[in-house]
């Protein structure tokens, strides 16, 4: 089955030409692809080489001493480099050998294709030409045949007609002979041509075309052989699995095989053999707690009201974490057990994987165990600290109550702290430390002109050893009847009363909406024990239970045993209520006369003395901090006794609502009074009011009390229009008080610039406010800086503006106001001086008008 026999047809010829074209295109495509492939291989080889040199840049130090992994890696990288070289070499070979041959093949094939086509055309044309000649000859033959026939007819005609001679006959005969000759010649030519055509046709079919095709076949087959060799060369040279590469791979595998986990660290451990590290000791730096006056102890958790909630939350948090931890542990342990079952299969890969998993879970398990141990230790520490508290009430972490200002005046923020006589100034840490160290002062009761409102009077407390035991189990007495029961007196007040070891009292406190009875004892500090209720409904500390709290306290006192082992606190001396600690039931509220920041103000009557008083109540719902703040006014006022200072009669803390009982000042607030009575108030009366206020303020100044909120709204008007200074909610007993943490709810228009700008308060600030108060008095209840908001007023004051005198203000009085409003405090008069100026003015006025 060769070309010569099968491809003679026209279609086959065209197909053969197309085939050769296609092969030429295939050759072109191959050249292109091989070129690209060579480029790829070279790029790849370069990349491999770069990679290998990077991979070889490993630690040159001794750190990988003896590591077989490292040397396997090195082999791997070296072989990578070798592979890179091999790939490059092969690419070069393919380029110089195979690709060149491919180019030659291409050129040869093109030439052969051309020659074949030309030869085919040539012989085909010959054949066509002969065929055409035959046709043409035949046509010529026919033409001459016609002519011959015509001439013969003519000759016969003339011959028959004319006889045997004559010119005409000669002519016709001549023509006839010529036509005959032409016909015969053409006939012969035709015969010869046909003979040639027949022969050529036979040759074309049997010799020429088959010969051409045969030759073509042999050429093409020779090309195919070359082509095959080229492809073989390429395939061989681009084979990445060739022996050379396999050798390469073998070397790598061999070096990897030589890795033995057990051996890997042998040299290394030998070289760096050391003894285990000494444990690191974490030691509490005791200097940190030096300043804490014993409140903070090294390595001991501090349990106080500031930390107890946090500690409890922390405990819950830790316990939850432990639980979670334990669940994780169970999951890991179960997981490991089920892995062990699969381990039975003799499949190395699975076994390896599982053993790795096992190692991982073992590690996780260890980590969980460590975490658990850590948490258990912390839990133990917290539990011990909380348990040690036993029935003791959580101690106060900071005995200074946090001030919160009444919410009636706007703006800026202020945070200050103050106990009765000490103030927490956060800007001055040393002062804070000193304060923490300073024991709470116990103030001796002032000799008040107001008789104690209690029929029982104050009972002197006495130690157990002395006669007249005040802690005796007399019949029918309830706890609240006991002198040493102080109701809801805040802890800050309580600690002031307990000054000597063994001093004690009983009080109530509310924690998380639960009322608790607390035994407060002075014993190397202040201890507060919460009375525990047993399931049977009796009461106890650590000792035996008693049917009533009163009996429990009496037992504790009489037994001389410590309340708790840990505290060692023994009850020596019951501290009775102070004379101003009234029973809530001693006061009958009559009618509401005002509304304060903490609650309503009532006109009330004392049951025992029938005295009519004013009672400020504190809303039960207010937070503890506010209640303490409410009592602050009572705490300050109880020391003062002056006709121009509203008098404290007592505080009611036996139960809620807590109340402050004061003298009733019948005219109510000075501001309302001035506004109501503006028309009827004479200049002299106004002057006297200023004198009253000056007298009250002079008294406060002498007591180092800064009122900080002096204004007509905070003065009361008593009999004969006598003015009394009231509302000591913001007062401080300090020579100088600095508010360091910003100011809030400050009565801007009444406050001196240095207090507004620097938070610095002295009595001279009160002098500024006094100037405003006088202005309010003479304007008969006018609004200072009317039409200006606080910011505007501040700006104006800072720029030197001062309010003009209102109508009918005596010049001297206005001059005094201006002196009170001197920008620099040192340029203002003190209250001593203010008082003498106003007194002189009043005297002069009286001398003139009365
Ligand atoms: P707070 O200090 O809570 O603001 P205030 O001292 O301003 O309360 O009292 C509110 C109102 O109750 C006063 O404006 C006044 O009318 C009335 N008030 C307060 N104390 C007395 C008192 N001792 N005598 C008569 N009225 C008083």
- CATH (domain of 490): 3.30.505.10
Instruction: Give the dihedral sign, CA 791/795/798/801.
Output: negative
Q: Are residues 599 and 535 in the same domain?
A: no
| DSSP characters over 658-698 | PEEEEE--TT-BHHHHHHHTTTT--HHHHHHHHHHHHHHHH
Averaged pLDDT for residues 418-438? 32
Both tokens of 3, joined, read 């070309």
Q: Give the residue, out of 407, 450, 594, with the most ligand 1 atoms within 8 A of its beta carbon, to mutate for a pocket test.
A: 594
Q: Are residues 193 and 314 in the same domain?
A: no
The pLDDT value given to residue 442? 30
Which residues contact residue 166 at a Cβ distance below 8 angstroms, ignoring those fewer than 6 apart? 158
Does residue 92 lie in a domain region? yes
Active site residue 41: no
Contact 528, 518 (CB under 8 A): yes
In this structure, of 29-43, 495-509, 738-752, the range with the lowest mean pLDDT score is 738-752
The pLDDT value given to residue 191? 93
The pLDDT value given to residue 406? 31
- The 3-class SS string of 137-148 reads HHHHHHHHHHHH
Does residue 406 lie in a domain region? no
Domain boundary among 302, 324, 339: 302
Domain boundary among 285, 302, 319: 302
The pLDDT value given to residue 337? 61
The pLDDT value given to residue 455? 30
Would you call 442 helix, strand, or coil by DSSP?
coil
Query: Apex CA 165: angle with CA 159 and CA 171, to 5°?
Result: 75
For residue range 105-156, list pLDDT tens digits in order: 999 999 999 999 999 999 999 989 989 999 999 999 999 999 999 988 988 8
Work out the number of other CB atoms within 10 angstroms of the CB of residue 285. Answer: 8
Q: Are residues 505 and 610 in the same domain?
A: no
Instruction: Work out the mean pLDDT of the chain and round it to a whole number.
Output: 84
Which residues contact residue 807 at a Cβ distance below 8 angstroms, ignoring those fewer than 6 apart? none
Judge whether residue 412 has pLDDT over 60.
no
Calpha distance 22→42 (Å, rounded)? 30
Judge whether residue 317 has pLDDT over 60.
yes
Nearest to 82 by CA among 220, 230, 242: 242
Binding residues for ATP: 593-601, 616
Contact 66, 266 (CB under 8 A): yes
Looking at residue 749, what DSSP letter applies?
A: G
Q: Are residues 8 and 149 in the same domain?
A: yes
Closest ligand 1 atom number to CA of residue 666: 25
- CATH (domain of 599): 3.30.200.20
Judge whether residue 810 has pLDDT over 80.
yes
For residue range 344-368, list pLDDT tens digits in order: 455 566 566 656 666 667 888 888 8
The pLDDT value given to residue 398? 59
Does the Cβ of 669 fall within 6 Å of ligand 1? yes
Angle between helices 811-820 and 763-778 (to 10 degrees): 150
For residue range 4-60, list pLDDT tens digits in order: 888 888 899 999 999 999 999 999 999 999 999 999 999 999 999 999 999 888 766
Averaged pLDDT for residues 554-569? 91
Calpha distance 754→371 (Å, rounded)? 56
Judge whether residue 739 has pLDDT over 90.
no
Calpha distance 98→117 (Å, rounded)? 28
Q: Give the residue, out of 596, 612, 629, with the most ligand 1 atoms within 8 A of its beta carbon, to mutate for a pocket test.
A: 596
- CATH (domain of 797): 1.10.510.10
Q: Which of 399, 692, 709, 766 is catalytic?
A: 709
Which residues contact residue 35 at a Cβ distance below 8 angstroms, ignoring those fewer than 6 apart? 99
The pLDDT value given to residue 470? 54
* φ, ψ (nearest 5 deg) of residue 701: -60, -40
Higher pLDDT, 102 or 309: 102
Judge whether residue 463 has pLDDT over 90.
no
Q: Are residues 488 and 508 in the same domain?
A: yes
Q: Are residues 632 and 682 in the same domain?
A: no
Distance 675 CA to ligand 1 centre (A): 17
Both tokens of 339, joined, read 């892995």
Both tokens of 478, joined, read 């309830």
Most confident of 52-56, 271-275, 782-786: 782-786
The pLDDT value given to residue 464? 40
Q: Are residues 489 and 556 in the same domain?
A: yes
For residue range 181-200, list pLDDT tens digits in order: 999 999 999 999 999 989 98
Does the Cβ of 622 fall within 6 Å of ligand 1? no
Does residue 410 lie in a domain region? no
Q: Give the confidence band of 430 by pLDDT, cuts at 50, 70, 90.
A: very low
- The 3-class SS string of 620-648 reads CCCCHHHHHHHHHHHHHHCCCCCCCECCE
Q: Give the confidence band of 480 by pLDDT, cuts at 50, 70, 90.
A: confident
Closest ligand 1 atom number to CA of residue 594: 12
Beta-carbon-side half-sphere exposure of residue 62 (alpha carbons within 13 Å) = 6
Does residue 256 lie in a domain region? yes
Q: Give the confidence band of 407 by pLDDT, cuts at 50, 70, 90.
A: very low
Task: Tell me what percent of the residues of the chain surpass a pLDDT of 70.
Answer: 85
Does the Cβ of 725 fall within 6 Å of ligand 1? no
Averaged pLDDT for residues 289-299? 78
For residue range 64-89, list pLDDT tens digits in order: 888 889 889 999 999 999 999 999 99
Higher pLDDT, 9 or 340: 9
Closest ligand 1 atom number to CA of residue 671: 14
Binding residues: 593-601, 616
Q: Give the confidence band of 273 by pLDDT, cuts at 50, 70, 90.
A: confident
- From the number of C-beta atoms within 10 Å of its C-beta (0-12, 13-18, 19+), residue 839 rates as middle
For residue range 659-702, list pLDDT tens digits in order: 999 999 999 999 999 999 988 999 999 999 999 999 999 999 99
Nearest to 654 by CA among 601, 602, 605, 582: 582
Does residue 599 lie in a domain region? yes
Distance 494 CA to ligand 1 centre (A): 26
Contact 507, 493 (CB under 8 A): no
Tokens 């036509």 found at:
179
Q: Give the confidence band of 766 by pLDDT, cuts at 50, 70, 90.
A: very high
Q: Are residues 223 and 362 in the same domain?
A: no
Query: Apex CA 34: angle with CA 31 and CA 37, to 5°?
Result: 150
The pLDDT value given to residue 403? 35
Does the Cβ of 86 fall within 6 Å of ligand 1? no
Nearest to 266 by CA among 58, 56, 64, 59: 64
Q: Give the confidence band of 509 by pLDDT, cuts at 50, 70, 90.
A: confident
Would you call 783 helix, strand, or coil by DSSP?
coil
Task: Tell me what percent of the residues of the chain surpass a pLDDT of 90.
Answer: 53
Calpha distance 175→179 (Å, rounded)? 6
The pLDDT value given to residue 121? 92
Domain boundary among 257, 283, 302: 302
Q: Are residues 651 and 784 in the same domain?
A: no
Averaged pLDDT for residues 620-644? 87
| DSSP characters over 26-79 | HHHHHHHHHHHHHHHHHHHHHHHHHHHHHHT----SGGGTT-HHHHHHHHHHHH
Does the Cβ of 594 fall within 6 Å of ligand 1? yes
Whole domain around residue 268: which residue ranges? 3-59+66-302
Beta-carbon-side half-sphere exposure of residue 839 (alpha carbons within 13 Å) = 9
Does the Cβ of 662 fall within 6 Å of ligand 1? yes
Looking at residue 463, what DSSP letter applies?
A: -
Judge whether residue 491 has pLDDT over 90.
no
Q: Are residues 700 and 644 in the same domain?
A: no
Does residue 27 lie in a domain region? yes
In whole angstroms, what separates CA 265 from the centre of its chain?
Answer: 44
Total domains present in the chain: 5
In whole angstroms, what separates CA 589 from the centre of its chain?
Answer: 54
Does the Cβ of 673 fall within 6 Å of ligand 1? no
Q: Give the confidence band of 761 by pLDDT, cuts at 50, 70, 90.
A: very high
Q: Are residues 100 and 202 in the same domain?
A: yes
For residue range 767-777, list pLDDT tens digits in order: 999 999 999 99
- CATH (domain of 16): 1.20.1270.60
H helices within 343-458, ranges in order? Answer: 348-389, 429-437
Calpha distance 188→182 (Å, rounded)? 10
Query: Apex CA 701: angle with CA 695 and CA 707, to 5°?
Result: 95
Judge whether residue 601 has pLDDT over 80.
yes
Judge whether residue 420 has pLDDT over 70.
no
Would you call 589 helix, strand, or coil by DSSP?
strand
Both tokens of 753, joined, read 């610039």
Q: Are residues 309 and 354 in the same domain?
A: yes
Calpha distance 121→559 (Å, rounded)? 143
The pLDDT value given to residue 346? 53
Higher pLDDT, 288 or 277: 288
The pLDDT value given to residue 383? 86
Does residue 384 lie in a domain region? yes
Does residue 402 lie in a domain region? no
Averaged pLDDT for residues 467-471? 48
In whole angstroms, what separates CA 89 from the centre of its chain?
Answer: 59
């Amino acid at each position: 089955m060769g070309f010569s026999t099968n491809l003679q047809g026209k279609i086959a010829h065209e197909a053969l030409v197309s085939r050769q074209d296609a092969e030429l295109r295939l050759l072109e495509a191959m050249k292109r692809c091989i070129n690209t492939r060579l480029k790829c291989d070279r790029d790849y080889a370069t990349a491999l080489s770069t990679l290998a040199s990077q991979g070889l840049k490993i630690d040159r130090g001794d750190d990988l001493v003896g590591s077989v992994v490292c040397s396997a890696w090195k082999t791997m990288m070296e072989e990578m480099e070798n592979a890179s070289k091999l790939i490059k070499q092969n690419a070069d070979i393919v380029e110089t050998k195979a690709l060149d041959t491919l180019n030659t093949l291409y050129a040869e094939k093109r030439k052969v294709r051309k020659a074949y086509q030309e030869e085919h055309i040539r012989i085909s044309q010959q054949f066509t030409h002969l065929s055409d000649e035959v046709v043409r000859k035949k046509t010529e033959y026919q033409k001459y045949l016609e002519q011959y026939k015509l001439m013969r007819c003519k000759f016969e005609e003339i011959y028959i007609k004319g006889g045997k001679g004559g010119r005409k006959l000669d002519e016709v005969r001549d023509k006839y002979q010529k036509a005959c000759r032409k016909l015969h010649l053409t006939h012969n030519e035709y015969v010869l041509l046909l003979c040639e055509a027949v022969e050529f046709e036979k040759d074309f079919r049997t010799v020429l075309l088959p010969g051409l095709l045969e030759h073509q076949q042999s050429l093409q087959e020779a090309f195919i052989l070359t082509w095959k060799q080229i492809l073989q060369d390429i395939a061989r040279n681009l084979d990445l699995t060739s022996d050379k590469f396999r050798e390469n791979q073998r070397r790598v595998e061999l070096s990897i095989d030589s890795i033995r986990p057990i051996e890997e660290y042998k040299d290394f451990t030998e070289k760096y053999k050391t003894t285990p590290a000494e444990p690191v000791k974490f030691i509490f730096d005791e200097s940190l707690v030096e300043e804490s006056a014993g409140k903070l102890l090294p390595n001991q958790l501090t349990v106080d009201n500031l930390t107890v909630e946090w500690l409890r939350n922390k405990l819950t948090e830790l316990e939850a974490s432990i639980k979670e931890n334990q669940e994780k542990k169970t999951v890991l342990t179960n997981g490991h057990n089920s892995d062990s079952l699969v381990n039975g299969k003799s499949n190395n890969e699975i076994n390896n994987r599982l053993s790795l998993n096992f190692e991982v879970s073992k590690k996780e398990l260890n980590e969980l165990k460590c975490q658990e141990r850590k948490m258990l230790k912390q839990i133990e520490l917290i539990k011990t600290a909380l348990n040690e508290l036993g029935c003791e009430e959580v101690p106060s972490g900071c005995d200074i109550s946090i001030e919160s200002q009444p919410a009636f005046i706007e703006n800026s923020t202020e945070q200050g702290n103050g106990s009765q006589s000490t103030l927490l100034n956060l800007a001055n840490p040393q002062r804070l430390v000193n304060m923490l160290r300073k024991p709470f002062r116990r103030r001796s009761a002032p000799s008040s002109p107001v008789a104690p409102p209690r029929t029982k009077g104050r009972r002197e407390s006495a130690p157990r050893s002395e006669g007249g035991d005040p802690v005796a189990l007399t019949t029918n007495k309830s706890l609240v009847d006991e002198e040493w029961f102080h109701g809801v007196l805040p802890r800050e007040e309580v600690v002031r009363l307990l000054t000597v070891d063994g001093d004690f009292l009983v009080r109530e406190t509310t924690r998380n909406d639960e009322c608790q009875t607390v035994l407060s004892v002075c014993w190397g500090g202040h201890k507060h024990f919460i009375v525990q209720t047993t399931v049977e409904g009796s009461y106890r500390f650590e000792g035996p239970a008693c049917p009533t709290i009163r009996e429990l306290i009496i037992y504790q006192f009489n037994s001389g045993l410590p309340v708790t082992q840990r505290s060692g606190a023994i009850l020596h001396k019951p501290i009775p209520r102070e004379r101003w600690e009234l029973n809530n039931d001693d006061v009958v509220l009559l009618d509401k006369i005002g509304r304060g920041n903490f609650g309503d103000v009532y006109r009330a009557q004392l049951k025992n003395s029938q005295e009519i008083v004013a009672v400020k109540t504190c809303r039960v719902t207010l937070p503890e901090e506010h209640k303490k703040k409410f009592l602050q006014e009572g705490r300050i006022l109880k020391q003062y006794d002056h006709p121009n200072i509203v008098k404290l009669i007592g505080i009611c803390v036996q139960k809620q609502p807590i109340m402050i009982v004061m003298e009733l000042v019948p005219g109510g607030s000075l501001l309302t009074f001035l506004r109501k009575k503006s028309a009827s108030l004479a200049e002299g009366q106004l002057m006297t009011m200023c004198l009253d206020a000056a007298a009250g303020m002079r008294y406060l100044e002498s007591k180092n009390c800064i009122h900080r909120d002096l204004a007509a709204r905070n003065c009361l008007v008593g009999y004969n229009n006598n003015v009394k200074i009231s509302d000591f909610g913001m007062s401080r007993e300090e020579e100088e008080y600095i508010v360091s943490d910003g100011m809030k709810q400050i009565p801007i228009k009444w406050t001196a610039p240095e207090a507004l700008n620097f938070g610095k308060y002295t009595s001279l600030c009160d002098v500024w406010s006094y100037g405003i108060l006088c202005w309010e008095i003479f304007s008969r209840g006018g609004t200072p800086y009317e039409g200006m908001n606080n910011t505007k007023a501040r700006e104006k004051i800072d720029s030197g503006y001062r309010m003009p005198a209102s109508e009918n203000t005596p010049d001297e009085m206005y001059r005094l106001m201006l002196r009170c409003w001197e920008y620099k405090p040192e340029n203002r008069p003190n209250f001593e001086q203010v008082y003498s100026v106003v007194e002189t003015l009043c005297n002069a006025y009286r001398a003139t008008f009365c």
